[in-house]
């Protein structure tokens, strides 16, 4: 009598465990679906805030965008964890024969341009069942994204000297070109520093601390000297880009604020941008941008930047551009083109005022 009773108890326990697993799977799937919906909502909200961040409340909007992007990252991670739990619970249900269909997430393939390193796991030499000889039927390949840490090295460039036994002339190959005169930094290191500073906006002291943790002691002053020397090295390239931009028949101009560290305080500087982009009307010239910095926003800066330019300038209605449009300007007047992006803001403001009580 005890055996049937034990079997019945086992069945009840298994059913209870199965119901609990199904409930956990449904809860995990619901959390994942809810998180995905929240992620989509936040993405739309962030996009709207980025669209409307210019204006009197731009500083408040910028802080709100930063906070929402942080919350978005946490939600994406939580959604991934919930989806993983749901998949795990679904796998248990499938093993028990009571799986219910659900939408499976589609993984994006890993980039095709990355090199592939093939690691073949050792196969058994004989059949584990009967000891017979094995023949290959196929293979299953699982791809994992990995990164190789950067390696620091010292490149020794050897210039051998040779002497002629006949005339005793000494000859030696010329010294290689260095981006920095008498510099000890290679071009790849300099490119990495410039990209980190200007591409990722990392301060030099943080770069110095990062390199120190990797065993390379580079002082902030040393890195700063390298950055300054690179500006002189890249000056000819910058001049060519500027000439290409100013040769365009149409330019787009604008300026934006940039915080500048000063002694004991932070001041507000200006970055002026002039863009050449002929792609909207199928122009063959490649797009390019010219950047200039100033400590204030007086009209003398665009007048100096565009002193020799004659053509069409699309910009906002900033009064500092007005002298560029004068008919008696030398070498010639610039034709003003209004900016739709700036003009439509007034229409949005009117719509907001009309909706206000």
Under 8 Å between Cβ of 289 and 275: yes
Report whether 355 contacts 347 (CB < 8 A): no
Gap between the Cα atoms of 204 and 187, Å rounded? 18
pLDDT of residue 56: 47
Per-residue model confidence (pLDDT) at position 15: 83
Residue-by-residue DSSP string for 127-150: -TTT-PPP-------------PPP
3-state secondary structure of 92: helix
As a whole number of angstroms, the distance between CA 280 and CA 287 comes to 11
pLDDT at res. 229: 95
Written as tens digits, the pLDDT of the chain (357 aa) is 455 666 777 788 888 888 888 877 777 776 666 677 777 777 767 766 665 655 445 555 666 666 666 766 767 776 666 666 666 666 655 555 555 555 656 678 899 999 999 999 998 889 889 888 988 888 999 999 999 889 999 999 999 999 999 998 999 999 888 899 888 999 999 999 999 999 999 999 999 999 999 999 999 999 999 999 999 999 999 999 999 999 999 999 999 999 887 778 888 999 999 999 999 888 899 999 999 999 999 999 999 999 999 999 999 888 999 999 999 999 999 999 988 877 777 777 777 777 765
131/14 Cα distance (integer angstroms): 38
Rg for the chain, CA atoms, rounded:
33
Q: Where are the domains of the chain?
A: 10-96, 180-236, 247-352
Q: pTM score > 0.75 for this model?
A: no
Host H or E run for residue 184: none
């Amino acid at each position: 009598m005890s055996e049937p009773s034990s079997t019945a108890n086992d069945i009840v326990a298994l059913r209870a465990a199965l119901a609990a697993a199904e409930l956990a799977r449904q809860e995990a799937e619901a959390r994942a679906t809810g998180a995905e919906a929240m992620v989509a909502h936040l993405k739309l909200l962030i996009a709207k805030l980025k669209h409307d961040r210019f204006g009197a409340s731009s500083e408040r909007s910028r802080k709100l965008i930063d906070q929402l992007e942080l919350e978005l990252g946490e939600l994406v991670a939580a959604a991934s964890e919930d989806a993983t739990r749901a998949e795990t619970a679904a796998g248990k249900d499938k093993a028990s024969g009571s799986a219910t269909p659900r939408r499976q997430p589609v993984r994006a393939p890993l980039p095709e341009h990355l090199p592939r390193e093939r690691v073949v796991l050792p196969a058994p030499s004989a059949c584990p069942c009967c000891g017979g000889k094995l023949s290959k039927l196929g293979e299953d390949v699982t791809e994992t994204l990995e990164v190789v840490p950067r390696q620091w090295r010292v490149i020794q460039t050897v210039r051998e000297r040779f002497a002629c036994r006949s005339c005793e002339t000494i000859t030696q190959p010329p010294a290689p070109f260095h981006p920095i005169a008498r510099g000890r930094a290679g071009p790849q290191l300099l490119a990495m520093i410039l990209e980190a500073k200007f591409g990722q906006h990392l301060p030099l002291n943080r770069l110095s601390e990062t390199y120190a943790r990797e065993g390379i002691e580079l002082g902030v002053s040393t890195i700063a000297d390298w950055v300054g020397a690179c500006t002189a090295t890249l000056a000819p390239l910058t001049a060519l880009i500027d000439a290409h931009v100013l040769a365009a028949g149409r330019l787009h101009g604008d300026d934006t604020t940039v915080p500048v560290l000063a002694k004991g305080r932070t001041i507000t500087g200006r970055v002026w941008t002039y863009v050449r982009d002929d792609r909207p009307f199928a122009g063959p010239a490649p797009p390019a941008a010219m950047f200039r910095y100033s400590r204030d926003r007086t009209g003398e800066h665009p007048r100096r930047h565009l002193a020799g330019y004659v053509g069409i300038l699309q910009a906002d209605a900033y009064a500092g551009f007005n002298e560029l449009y004068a008919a008696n300007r030398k070498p010639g007047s610039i034709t003003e083109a209004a900016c739709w992006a700036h003009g439509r803001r007034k229409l949005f403001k009117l719509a907001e005022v009309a909706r206000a009580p």
